[in-house]
Amino acid sequence: MSVKIIAEIGINHNGNMTTVKKLIDVAKDAGCDAVKFQKRTVDKVYTKELLDSPRESPWGITQRDQKNGLELSFQDYKKIDEYCKSLNIKWFASAWDIESQKYLRQFDCSYNKVASAMIVSREFLNEVASEQKHTFISTGMSSIDQIKTAVDIFKNMDCPFELMHTVSTYPMPDTDANLKCIQTLANEFKCDVGYSGHETGLAISYAAVALGATSIERHITLDRTMYGSDQAASIEPHGLRQLVGAIRKIEISLGDGIKKITKEEIEVAKKLRAHL
């Protein structure tokens, strides 16, 4: 089974559809399997007190201005749906509230995503699992018991899922990666386990594939100096092409684990062992 490579556009588009399409183009050109966005109902995810508080941004002077500026409209999502279909690349989004999850059903995406922030909400997990779509479940900020609760819900509702080892810092220090958790989660829950990375660089994502990650999700950007909290932990176009190319090579190189002598080795052995 090929590793699924997900380009997380998230909110790195800054509410601009030209940037959205450029990022989708980058993901398609690099060979990614899907692009992912984030959907929030701003007034449900954030308190009125926070939304009314000051924050300077390209959209205004309050947190509300900034949060609303990063949200895409229904027409934007329709254009995303049409554009991705025209390029033959899948798209989906992580909802941060139940209203957003229901909103996304209008587009019949192939996948769902439970963000690390939402894994502790039983009500939300039940809502997502009821759709019976393959769901990527990020496990950042979560204990084994909290992950087990989510796994039990998806198993009980017979909804296909895949855990994703995640450390929820942006960017994540290399020393916190703890990639052996990929194997820990696979052994504990007897399921596929991917990796959602927030580090700078590519080496840790390569190692995750070598350790058995069944999917890799990385934030992407056109330029890490752009406005936005996720830009610093994102991969620029050249890096994304490197990532996808290396993952496909690693997949091939892992083989089947059966020790055998290749046909090419037989001839080499005749030469190197001729003196024996």
In three-state secondary structure terms, 200 is coil
Tally the domains of the chain: 1
Which residues does residue 4 pair with via DSSP β-bridges, in sequence order? 215
pLDDT for the residue numbered 217:
98
Instruction: Give the residue-averaged pLDDT of 104-112.
Output: 97
Contact (CB, 8 A) for 95 and 121: no
Continuous H helices in the chain? 17-30, 42-45, 48-51, 63-69, 74-87, 98-104, 122-129, 144-156, 181-189, 203-210, 237-254, 263-272
**pLDDT value at 1 more than 90:** no
pLDDT for the residue numbered 22:
98
Banded pLDDT at 134 (limits 50, 70, 90): very high
Q: What is the pLDDT of residues 140-162, one digit of tens each?
A: 999 999 999 999 999 999 999 99
Q: How far apart are CA 196 and CA 260, in angstroms?
A: 34
Contact (CB, 8 A) for 109 and 39: no
85: tokens are 């279909």
Structural domain containing residue 62 = 4-272
User: Domain of 101: which CATH number?
Assistant: 3.20.20.70
Contact (CB, 8 A) for 64 and 44: no
* CA atoms 29, 30, 33, 38: torsion sign: negative
Q: What is the pLDDT of residues 44-98, one digit of tens each?
A: 999 999 999 999 999 999 999 999 999 999 999 999 999 999 999 999 999 999 9
Residue closest to 12 by CA, chosen among 246, 201, 198, 164: 198
